[in-house]
Homo-oligomer: A and B are copies of this chain.
Amino acid sequence: MHATQDETEPPSAPSAALRPGLRERKKQRTRDALIRSALELFAERGYEGTTVDEIACAADVSQRTFFRYFAGKEDVALAVQQMVETHFFEAVCERPAAESPLTALRTAVMSSWDTIEEAIASVVPLELHLRTYQMIQTTPQLIAAHLRRTAELEDRLTEVIARREGLPPEDPRPRILVAAFSGVMRETGKRWGLLMEQDMEEFRRQTAAYLDQIGPALAENWRS
């Protein structure tokens, strides 16, 4: 309902602001304002220490309007994270069928990281998103909500991979692979958020190293 930006495109509009219609632009600005206000307040006073009233007030709308844009307080906290995950999912869908499933997943993460930052920055400053990410991993209610969304993403990934490989839906292997992959991503994400590592290169290396362990993890006899 919100944020649908696919319309008939007038060829090369002179003023770049005329594309989506005045009303649509206003809605988009309201939505962005709500996200920005929310994340700033969360960073300042914490998630539970911030009321929806305060968020709405900071974005100059009524509380009622807030709930027309977001289904709940959780929603706005996870809005940017949602963007990131959608972006990753699309990257997976675009991987060539020749790649093995694990390679496809791995390459998709890496390539989605190359391009996601500007998309984030168009809504909120990157540093604010990093603080939000930490908050998500330390606030019980947000951990739960985020895990639920992640589980849904896993379902979709499982389906995509099963289709790629031409497997019937009952085959458990795609699900297992996705679960293992997801476990790695959760773990590395935890480290990234908590250690506040700004060094993206180092983080990529670590993630890659972890992903390399997926194969060996299932070989019995770990004791070297």
Contacts and interface: CB of A to CB of B under 8 A. Distances in A.
Interface of A: 100-102, 140, 143-145, 147-148, 151, 154, 165-167, 171-180, 182-184, 186-187, 210, 213-223
Given A182-B179, A183-B180, A217 B173 contact: yes
A217 B172 contact: yes
Interface of A: prevailing SS: helix
Contacts of A180: 176, 179-180, 183, 217-218
A156 to B, nearest CB: 14
A117 B220 CA distance: 32
A45 to B, nearest CB: 22
B145 A176 contact: no
A114 B175 CA distance: 27
Nearest to A191: B170
B187 A217 contact: no
Given A172-B217, A180-B217, 19 more contacts: A101-B222, A144-B145, A144-B147, A144-B148, A154-B183, A175-B187, A176-B183, A176-B184, A176-B213, A176-B214, A177-B217, A178-B183, A179-B179, A179-B183, A179-B186, A180-B180, A214-B218, A215-B219, A217-B218
B148 A100 contact: no
A175 B181 CA distance: 10
B182 A213 contact: no
A77 B193 CA distance: 31
A175 B167 CA distance: 27
A185 B161 CA distance: 19
A182 B210 CA distance: 18
Contacts of A187: 172, 175
